[in-house]
Amino acid sequence: MIDTAPADSDPVRAAILTAMDRLLAGTPLRSSGRLSVSQLAIEAGVKRWHLTHQHLI
């Protein structure tokens, strides 16, 4: 499980990290479960550009 810092108040980042946990655990809720940027965006409920331009790390 990926640990988010308490000071991290960005809801998009929190959604991405939670979605990453679900995909890596093999328990997707919204996506096909494939490990790709597109499926991570779907799983997190965010636009793909958040992953490719805003949250690079």
The tens digit of pLDDT for each residue in 21-37 reads 999 999 999 999 999 99
Alpha helices (runs of H) in 5-52, residue ranges in sequence order: 11-25, 37-44, 48-49
Is there a contact between 9 and 40 (Cβ–Cβ < 8 Å)? no
Q: How far apart are CA 25 and CA 5, in angstroms?
A: 21
Q: Which residues contact 3 (CB under 8 A, 6 or more apart)?
A: none
Model confidence at 3, pLDDT cuts 50, 70, 90, reads: low
Question: Is residue 6 over pLDDT 60?
Answer: no
Question: Is residue 56 over pLDDT 80?
Answer: no
C-beta atoms surrounding 50 within 10 Å? 16
pTM over 0.75: yes
Nearest to 42 by CA among 29, 54, 52, 55: 29
Q: What percent of the chain has pLDDT over 90?
A: 75
